Structures are given as C-alpha cells and as structure tokens.
Amino acid sequence: MRDEALVGLSSDGDPWAFGELARRYAPAMKAVASRLGPSLADVDDIVQESLLQAWQRLDQLDDPAAVRSWLLRLTARKAIDHARRHKSHDDVNALTSVSAPTPSPDSAAVVSAGSQALARALADLPESQRTVWWLREGADMSYEDIAHTLGISVASVRGRLARARHTIMTQLEEWR
C-alpha cells in the first residue's frame, strides 16, 4: 500500500495503517537517532517518542507522500533535543565500518584506523556542523529537510555542510 493511502487511513484513526508506516520507516528513524542521539540505549526511546508525536500530529502533515522525510525530521529534532539535554557525544566512536566479508588482518587494521580517524574528525567538528553532516550523510535528508528540522536557512545548511566536509577532508588527508 502506498504511503499516501496509509497516511489517509492513519489520519482517520486506523492503528494498523500507522503501524505499517512505523514498520516501514522505523529502521531509517533508528539510523537518524543513533547518529544524533547521545547514546545507543536511548535510540528506541527517541524513535518511540517520535512515532507517538507523529500519531498525535498526523493532521499537520501537508503532503502525505512526504511522510518519510516528515518522520525523519521529527526523529532528528527529538534526537537533537535529547543530545542537547545530555551534552554527550561519546557514541561518535561507535561508527560502523564497511569491510570485506573476511578481511585480512592488515586490511582490518586499515579499516579500523580509518574509522577511528573519521570518528575523531567528526568529534572535533562543532556540534552545528556535525549535526548537519549526519543529517545529510547519515540520514540522507535533503538540504530543505535539514533546514526545516534545524530551523535554519538552506544557505546555512550548505555553508555548515561545506565547512564540515572541508574540515573532515583536511583531517583525513593521509587516508586519500
């Protein structure tokens, strides 16, 4: 069933339809929350709070076809608020690395060192740049969605993202 139909049914109070939306988009919501939230233990709570808020505010969704980006924006806001309350970014080091199915010890060491270097570069970014970077690269949100989520202009999103990318590339120069 298409998103638009599920949103319509959910707006009419159908819990099954909303459950389908939740099952469809919860993995992406968890990905956003895990990148922006202070700890992995809080991810499920952030997603659950976001889904509850979405259920309560479904009538505020202007375009039913955009339900995915709307849910991701709600989740990002919740995760950012949660991170600000707790002021901890220890989970930046919990990056998942992509490697060969059975890497050699040498290649595993290189991938691990590269992941650690990226984690350090991200940790060194100002919070505003790190947040924009995660929303774009981790959650694959559009510039417009990021701007709406953070309450800033699209130009600010572009600027923060450009500065973040430049800083990361500079710090990871040896990995090119």
Decide which of 37, 53, 87 is a domain's last residue: 87
Q: Which domain covers residue 144, as residue numbers?
A: 105-176
Decide which of 23, 58, 87 is a domain's last residue: 87
- Together in a domain, 130 and 76: no
- Together in a domain, 81 and 116: no
pTM for the full model? Answer: 0.60
pLDDT tens digits along 33-90 = 887 766 777 888 899 999 999 999 988 888 888 888 889 888 888 888 887 776 644 4
Task: Give residue 175's region: left, alpha or beta (phi > 0; psi -120 to 50).
Answer: alpha
pLDDT tens digits along 90-114 = 444 444 444 445 566 655 555 556 6
C-alpha separations of 134 from 66, 83, 164 in Å = 20, 13, 10
Q: Scanning the structure block, which residue is given the tokens 């999103």?
A: 157
- The overall average pLDDT reported for the chain is 80
Please give the helix or strand (H or E) that residue 56 lies within, else none: helix 43-56
Please give the helix or strand (H or E) that residue 64 lies within, else none: none
Question: Angle formed by the axes of helices 105-124 and 154-171, to 10°?
Answer: 140
Q: Which residue has the higher pLDDT, 149 or 55?
A: 55
Domain count, the chain: 2
- Together in a domain, 119 and 58: no
- Together in a domain, 3 and 76: yes
Q: Are 58 and 10 in contact (CB under 8 A)?
A: yes
Q: Which residue has the higher pLDDT, 105 or 163?
A: 163
The answer to whether residue 99 sits within a structural domain is no
pLDDT of 19 over the 90 cut? yes
Decide which of 24, 58, 87 is a domain's last residue: 87
- CATH assignment at residue 132: 1.10.10.10
End-to-end CA distance of the chain: 44
- CATH assignment at residue 2: 1.10.1740.10
